[in-house]
Amino acid sequence: MPEPLAITRLLNALFAGPVDSILGLVGVHPAHPERPINDAFALELLIAAVLLAFFVVVRVTLSVEKPAPAQQMAEMIHEFIGGQADSIIGHGYGRFQSFVTVIFLFIISCNLIGLIPGVNSPTELESVTLALALATFIYYNFYGFRFNGFLGYMKQFAGPVWWLAWLLFPIELISHFARIMSLSVRLYANMFAGGLVTLVFFSLIPIGIPIIFMALHLGVALIQAYIFMLLTMIYVSQAVAHDH
């Protein structure tokens, strides 16, 4: 079994007991009770803490006259994602921008942390990408029901032609649930393959050549985070659309 990361060992030393108790309440019993926290979860917690600290720093140092570097970076991210959301979601995109921004920053951070030698991206685990896909699925469906009401949202699944509703409704229902697998598998497969190729070439030729594959891995990490964000926006825009 690979040696856990230092942060994983620290978290297990501090919280193994409480985590085992919580897992026991839901009927989950870790194979190694002394280390129920794995590297992926530890890295996710680290990334979440870093992002939270970044947002706090931006809020504390907020200034109109002299924006700090953190604020300038936050404004660039806000404008970039806001522009994408405006073109895809349209009017009222602002209420969805926070979720999309957090999803994008979290995924891109999880992807990029795998560029550190000896560290695997959390998004190389199917359970992590599945959780992100489920969160997105629940989010856009929640707003679909909220904006259109139960019957109004269900009408979207039935299609515009009433006499084909019996055929289109199950097809649309299946396609919506398939989005979970599509979002999850696309991100997982690309990140896993990229990490594996980089690891193989690091093992064979540790100098020079792996830099090329690290650059490719960087490109994949950025593109996959961007695609996940765009698909989230598209699903939200479709869910909140009103029939006229």
Note the pTM of the prediction, 2 decimals.
0.90
Distance, in Å, from the CA atom of 191 to the CA atom of 108, rounded to the nearest integer, reads 11
pLDDT of residue 244: 42
Give the confidence band of 209 by pLDDT, cuts at 50, 70, 90.
Answer: low
What confidence tens digit (pLDDT) does each residue in 62-104 have?
A: 888 888 888 999 999 999 999 999 999 988 899 999 999 999 9
What is the overall mean pLDDT for the chain?
88
What confidence tens digit (pLDDT) does each residue in 141-193 have?
A: 999 999 999 888 888 888 777 777 778 888 989 999 999 999 999 999 999 98
pLDDT of residue 211: 74
Block residue for tokens 């957090």 = 102
Residues 100-129, mean pLDDT to the nearest whole number: 92
Side chain identity at residue 212, one-letter code:
I
Burial of 197: CB neighbours in 10 Å, binned 0-12, 13-18, 19+: middle
Q: Taking a C-beta distance cutoff of 8 angstroms, is the pair 137, 233 a contact?
A: no
